[in-house]
Structure 1
Amino acid sequence: MLQISYIRENKDEVIAGLQKRNFKELNLIDDVIALDESRRTLQGNSEAIAAEANSCAKQIGELMRQGKKEEAEAIKAKTSGHKSQLKEFGDELVRVEQELHDKLVQLPNLPHTSVPIGTSPEENEVVLEHGEIPSLGDHALPHWELAAKYKLIDFELGTKIAGAGFPVYTGKGARLQRGLINFFLDEAMKAGYHEVQVPHVVNETSAYSTGALPDKEGQMYHITQDDLYLIPTAEVPVTNIYRDEIVKEEQFPIMNCAYTPCFRREAGSYGAHVRGLNRLHQFDKIEIVQVVHPDKSYDTLEEMSTYVQSLLQKLELPYRVLRLCGGDMGFASALTYDMETYSTAQQRWLEVSSVSNFETFQSNRLKVRFRNGEGKMTLAHTLNGSALALPRIVATLLENHQTEKGIKIPKVLVPYVGFEYID
């Protein structure tokens, strides 16, 4: 959530940032500033009346001790309306603060200065490309046909059990899933991340605190009877570990990783681009999350991007890195890098990871703070990234590593899966 003081003091800059994101409801800025002015006026009036009431109470007490009852009663009569005035101001303050909050949570984060202008994925900036796209010939199969040929994934059985978008992994397909999860977790811990196991459901406060609500309300599975949400990513519970916490500056960087299933309704998704593993309602992912000093967050973002790239290199996958344009970024992000691997059989790039810096957007909602060197309470910066999401990694592994002998397993994965080929 944007800080109201920043909006008030930097209105033109805020509007320019929101325009870069292609955000249309710019009238919210004037609404927020007006409501904040009302809030501060009400607070000032309430404090003035409260101060006057306290002063009168002291005068009345002193006059009573001096035996000047008539004078004391005269002052008491003049202050009889203080209580009702305070209640009136208090009720109005609650209403204004709620309306202000409701407006603020509709505003996305402001983009970093390096974010390119654009409104669609086609306008994202290609930062780099790595690796050669293999030449597989005319007989290359897409991953859903390879999955059927080698009995790795049963999409129809998943549809029978739960519905479309919930595949069943079998045999070497299941072992490949498990091997990738363990490989990614081991690599994260080697890189200094602390593994945590977290709930796969969160309450409304947790979902709100990371920006999942209200932005992704229609995309999350809601357990209405218990008012809980299935997590769209481990980012939500992991980041909420530090909600309402004052961390110590010497703890930075705070680095956590977690494996969880992820659940997304993906409402409105259909067509060839969602076939097979391209888009699922349930999938596995390892998430990396950092809470860092504000001065270090952009260096940290580059380090996280480099780390995710190292995983793709070890999996022998061609990939590219995109800097997302303003109109394609997530609601809470200030700067996002997407990593995409090339699907040789489908002849297109598939997103497999996003690494984002949220600056203070999440920490302002979470109230994750620390005391800086001057003793001033300061909001930390939060970052996260997929390291990695499995479905499209599996899809491109199957497609790019298919040979006449079968599907060749990357060398780093062989100890985790126990076989060199899927045949």
Structure 2
Amino acid sequence: MTLRVAIVGAGPAGIYAADILTKSSAETGTPVSVDLLERLPAPFGLVRYGVAPDHPRIKEIVKALHRVLAKPEVRLLGNVEYGVDVKLEDLRTYYDAVVVATGAMADRDLGIPGEELTYGAAEFVSWYDAHPDVSQDWPLDATSVAVIGVGNVALDVARVLAKTGDEMLTTDIPSHVHYGLWSKTTTDVHVFARRGPAYAKFSPMELRELNHSPNVEVVVHPEGFDVDDHGMEHIGKHKAQKMVLDTLANWVGREPVGKPHRIHLHFAQAPVEVRGADGKVTTLRTERTRPLGDGNVEGTGEVTDWDVQAVYRAVGYRSTALPGLPFDDRAAVIPNDGGRVLGLDGRAIPGTYVTGWIKRGPVGLIGHTKSDAAETVGHLLADLAASGPTATLREPADVDAYLAERGVDVTTFEHWERLDRHEVALGEAQGRERVKVAEREAMLEAGRG
């Protein structure tokens, strides 16, 4: 009998899980049929809607993910929202196991006064990546902007805010994003790190890319650029961190060359308050920190008020709770043991699994989700080998009939291929590789052909 598995989320985590499941079929001799249920009309999740458009190399991952979706054992059921169009108890009728791979797309909070005046990095990323569920308008009327955080997303936000709109026109951004970036008034972007440079979390490549724009100057401020013994020990254990520190050290004190836009990197500055008037930011207050010798820092009481008109918080993503599933709000994950979802009593909930960021939190690069998926799938297959199939309606047509009865306009892999060709054609007309379609209805229409 063919095992039936539903995976909720068709981003990298979900697609990697589908790939491992189908490969296991050849090893075990047990056929597996996988349906990927995706809320959006298009697949690929974080790669399509979380990677900055001027990072085409990372988007090459789509090619590998595309090959998985093309497998005959895998079906894409797009434009299907879990909790709205289908619930967990419904999925149990049609599938022997359910794997949740919904990722993390909400912003973590700073926990400081005035935070309600700030923008979340995830919101801004969704705007410039043309997510169909966000507004096409974004306020870009600030001359000086603050970005809180020193991860790759913080640098993405800073870089996109600093570069000119026309620089970004070589990417897949649609017209509304280009117009917004072209008309923005930002000249200076200030990036703030609570700790010193030895603990910056961005990758060496991401950091070096800041310096590639002909219109953007990177300024590393010497204040707070200190490395204590613990910091030296830390970079001694992490090669990438040492490369980051070496690059930053080479930039400290460089003579300005007069580029029109600037990205300022400030270390040992912790945000303590955002001030504003009439709903607009007027000031970011930070406090100088000092190292405690164990990787942590404490405030010194020395505060600085920065004249900025917008503040973006980029201190990490967080997952959100899903109907019918337990959720650890503090860790922002679904409680699990190696991918087996745990109920309130601490016992595994039969046939229910997680993988990706909603399993372990938003840490690591996209490729790290492969090992996550392998662990989860290993447990899933072991459990099904012991319990046997559980679904009562086992044909793909049964799921199709259920969704059709509910009036869900499902998009398939064939729909995606038509949308893909349409976006490529839009790009060719402008001398670009692709132009992304932003509106949900336009995506559906292009998918229908």
Name the TM-score, length of structure 1 as normaliser: 0.19
TM-score, normalised with respect to structure 2: 0.19
